[in-house]
Structure formats: C-alpha cells, structure tokens
Amino acid sequence: MVSQRFESDKGRRLLLTVADQLAETEPSRILYHIFVDQTSTVPMPVTTAQFSNAVRFMCEWLETRLSPSTTTVVGYTGPNDLRCSILILAGAKTGAKALLCSSRNSLEGKLALIQQSNCQAWLSSSEGDAQDILGEHPMPSFVIPSVSELIRAEPVPVYPYEKSFLDARWDLLAYLHTSGSTGNPKWKTTNSGGVGQFNPALYDASVSYVWHRWSALFRPHVRLDPPPSPISMTLIERLLDSFPMNSAFIPPSILTEMAKSTDALNKLADLDLVISAGGPVAPFAGDIISRHTSLQEIMGSTEGHWYATLPTKRPDWAYFQFSSETGYEMVPDRDGLHELVFKRQPHLDLTQPIFVTFPELNVWHTQDLYSVTFNLSVWSFESQIAGVSNLIQFCSEARNPVHVCYISSIGVATNWSSTHVGPVPEALVQDTAAPGTGYGASKMVAENLLYQAANADVLRLTVCRVGQMSGPVLRGCDHGVWNPKEWLPTLIRTSSEMRALPEDLGNQDNIDWVPIDLAAHIISEMVFNSDTSDEARPQFFHVINPSTIRWKSVLPLIRERLQNHQNLPADVLSFNSWIRKLRNTSGNMSPVGEDGASEDISGLKPLEFYESIRLPDRIG
C-alpha cells in the first residue's frame, strides 16, 4: 500500500530517494519483469527492494573505482536495459553524472559528446565495446556488472541522500544527447526536478526514451522489458501471447507490419491502450489499429521530455490534444500554419519540465530542423552538411557500396554564366563563385563530399540537380496546386495585392520550370536505371525543362487573369521598380483583411530573395 504522504507528494518526489522509500514501505512490490539475456525465455521479477539495493551496490562500485566528485562525468554505452536506470541514480548520488551515449552514434559523434561534456571515464557493458573510443581518446574505462549481478547482489547499506525536492530540483541528474540526425549529437542536461515532473497527477507516462522505466516507481503497475534483441513483430506477438498486459509501447514501423496481420490485430485488441512515438504511424495502419484498440501517439524532445497531452478518441488517433493546463499554445505563424510554443506559467510548474531544463526562459519555441531558405549564408546550413557527412559515414560501414541519389539544386551554378562560357555541365562544380546563394553553396559542398566518397568506393553516386518545380499537370492531379509558400506564387499574390506586376524576373527570367509530378517520374527513372556497377563513376543529371520561354511571354496571361479577378488594372513595372514598390509598401500600404485587421503583404517575407535575383539598374 502506497503511503498517503508518498501519494500526496506527486510532482515533488525525487528519483534519488523514491526507490529507497518504496523498498522500506513495500519491499516485495514488483516493479519490473526483465529478461537477463537473449537466451532467457522467462522474465525475472525485480522488486523495489532489489532495485534499491542494486542502486546502492552501484554507488559503492563507482566510488571504489572512480572516487567521483561533483564534476565527474562518466560515459556509458550498452544495451538500453535496467543498468541505464541504475547507473543514472547511482551516478547522481555519488557525483559521477552519467553521459548515456547511444551505441548507434558514429565514432565522430561519440567523441564530440566526450569533448562537449568533459567526460573523464568510460563504462561499457562488455569488454571491447569502447575500444574505438579509447583508441582516439584514452581515459580510464571499466566494464559494469551485468543486470543479473546487480539485481542479485548481496544487501548493501543505504547510501544516504538527504536533500529535499526544493533543494535538489535544479541538481544535475544525467547527460542525454540529441539524435544527431542533422549533425553530431549535442549533449543536453537533465535534472532531478525535470524528471520529478513525470509524476504529477495529470501525467500518465508509461514510457520515455531513457526515463521510460521511472513510471513503475510512481505508479502501481509493473513494466515488462523486452529481451535484449532487436524489436520485431514476431517478438511483440510472442510477448503478447505469453504475458497478460493492459498496454504496450510499440514503434511505428512495427505497428505498420501488425496492421497487415489479422492475428496481430487480434492480439492488439486485447489491450486497453497502444502507445507509439519516434515518428508518425502510417495513416492506413493507424486507422486499422484504432478500430481494434485505443491508439495514442505521443511526442517529446530531449529538452522537454514527453509533452503532456490529453487522450484522444479513437477516430482522432493521429492528432495531439493540448490542454490549457499545460501552458502550451499553438501560435499563428504563416500561411495558415501554427507553431507549438511553450509559455511559462508559475502555477503550472509541475507540468512544464521544459522550464526546468531552461530556467532562464519564459517562452520556448519549437522550430523546423530544416528550411530551404535561399537568403541564408552557407554557414547556416552547417548542420545539414554535417548530416550528409553522417550519411557518408553510415555508407562506409556497409558491406557493399550503397547507391546514393542526392537531390541537389541548379543553385550550385546560378552565377555560372558570369565567369564561364556555355551551359552548366552535368559534372562536379568546384567553382566557389558559381553558387548565387548560401543555399546553393551548401548544395555544392554536399555534392563535393559525396563525390569524394564515391571516388573512394564508399558509395555509388547519382546527383539530380533540380530547378524550379511548378504545380502538377498529369491526369488525376486536377486539384494539385503549386506550393503557395514558394517565391513565384507569393510574387503573383503580392502583385495582386499591390496591383502591379514585374515585367521581368531578374536572373530568373528564363522559365524552365518542371511540373513536380513529371520531375518525380524523371528522378525515379534515374534512381532505378542508373549504373551502379563497381566500375560506375558518379553521375550528374539536370532535371530542367528543355523548352524554355521568357517571363514576358506569360506576363499578358497573368495580367489578364489578375485584372479579371480584381476588376482593376494592373501596372507593369521593371523588376527593380516592383521591388522598390514592395519595399515602400511595408510601411503604409498593408491591405485590410475581412476582419478589419491589417495584413502583411505576402511578398515581404521573401523580399530578400527577390533582392538576390534582381539585376543591377541599367545606366544611361
């Protein structure tokens, strides 16, 4: 029976003390069922007393080998088993803060984390696991005890920890890291207060990246850890057949497989709840599964843990429902989109772990990881270039050369005609003056990295340089439209608002646009028909329209359409004059919307891009 005081302290309980409290009041309560190794067929129960004692044992083990201080950082690579949880608690108690490093990180990524965190020692789950790290960065290293050794350890005296929640809430608990999908992973700190916020009354966490096991400490339920082997549909079905469960956390890829199997769906139907995260569940799979059981998608971040959301009804499984009691807001952004923004609310401190991670902030914005923004400098695309480097590293570890089709841009050679004669060749471009924008320069850097890797037989390379994509034209695409956020649809919409059209488009005046559906067919042919033999050299293709016309050829049609739509004449100005008119419009010509509120001229957002493609004013 959980004590009344323990229950009333929800949201203010410390992981560093809660295990000892449970071991004292409920020593025989089962927290986990675990498979100690890949050969185990029957899971071993782990009680609160065993878990608490394992943490104490690890405290002694760390102190004997490391003599840790408050600044000690200890890295760890190994299976995501119960040792991770034990190491975090023991490390925080002794001062040896754990840096949990994913085994999927490249060597470069691991070394980056070591440097960022000033890591002083390395732990691994078995001999030889850290040889690549130690070869580049020598430091003390140790193999930690197995899960079985920790759980079955002889009784160890309580390791004292006297701080209260208020005293310890800002204390560092452990180091995590980002996924590294756009470059080297970056370390992130998490503290005792942030993890304590997994357990307020409205938060019902059953899983979390590293913290998914903590829920068993705060909720009267038992967690079943899968065996230490790759997750598959077969494994999930075997577990569902063998053990009674109320809910399950299953990755999206496995759910997609299970949605195609009648037997698997029948097993899911016996559950009250299926939770998924790490990416969207395929719509067809989610629709099928939600007819058999309740499906809930959850999301979170390294900095903010899981975001507290409300349960949705079965038909709404693909949506997230945010409560006003969490301080999250969907703030209008642009083009009908909204951004998820976290706003600090003092009375909601138990449901806003993001502000435990960032106590100095009052507002935290989520942002897109990648943006095709032409007016940024090449340095703004450093993380995307690092992502290409990571891809090359990934290919280098494959048994056979991997065929990479890289979608590049004709922007790698926007200024080609300024210093070269003739068309841009379907070959590597190394002239650093050729790109006209930072975006184009970033694409050129990525092409050169991949080209060098291909010449080193790391991969087989096909580069498709695409230009301006227009709306779809093939049969069945009657309702398709040109992406309204792109520069040309925005230009036309802006011209309508200003009642003025440009007579030219600067250095984009030559129209060689390709309908997006035709481009997709072309690229598909290149991917599946390219030469990928051992003797194949890197191949470059330009996906552009061979039949080109000038902007002035389509201008009369666009002008007529605008005038018929507005029943007002549209002036025609030089592109430079049109840009000046747009710039002047920002101060005193914002149109008024239907609700009487002033609206921004559409083109003010890509104004810098228009500036970048304009030609100098003619003299004389």
Alpha carbon of residue 208 to chain centroid = 15
Predicted local distance difference test score (pLDDT) of residue 210: 42
Task: Choose among 392, 419, 422, 425: nearest CA to 406.
Answer: 392
Give residue 516's pLDDT: 87
User: Which mean pLDDT values do the consecutive 10-residue runs of the chain (620 residues) have?
Assistant: 44 76 91 82 90 94 85 86 90 87 79 86 82 89 92 90 70 70 62 47 32 71 82 90 90 89 95 87 90 89 71 89 78 76 75 69 64 58 82 86 91 82 89 82 93 90 90 70 80 85 84 87 80 75 88 88 73 87 62 38 64 56
Domain 1-229 shares a fold with domain 231-304: yes
Using only the alpha carbons of the chain, give its radius of gyration: 29
Residue 346 to residue 335: CA distance in whole angstroms: 32
Residue 193 near residue 170 (C-beta atoms within 8 A): yes
CB-neighbour burial class of residue 411 (10 A; exposed 0-12, middle 13-18, buried 19+): buried
What is the per-residue pLDDT for 310? 83
Residue 597, pLDDT score: 34
CATH number for the 1-229 domain, one of 1.10.1040.10, 3.40.50.12780, 3.20.20.150, 3.40.50.720?
A: 3.40.50.12780
Q: CB under 8 Å to 521, separation ≥6 — which residues?
A: none
- pLDDT at site 380: 66
Token pair for residue 420?
A: 């070269």
Q: Which is it for strands 300-301 and 305-306: parallel, antiparallel or unpaired?
A: antiparallel
Span 370-466+513-547: which CATH code?
3.40.50.720
Asked: is 231-304 a CATH 3.40.630.30 domain? The reply is: no
Q: What is the pLDDT of residue 350?
A: 60
- pLDDT at position 427, please? 92
Using alpha carbons, list the distances in angstroms from residue 58 to 10, 155, 591. Answer: 27, 12, 67
Between CA 53 and CA 60 the distance in angstroms is: 11
CA angle, corner 229, sides to 147 and 292, nearest 5? 115
For residue 152, which amino acid is it? R
Task: Name the residue among 215, 196, 212 with its Cα closest to residue 356.
Answer: 196
The domain locations on the chain are 1-229, 231-304, 322-368, 370-466+513-547, 489-505+553-620
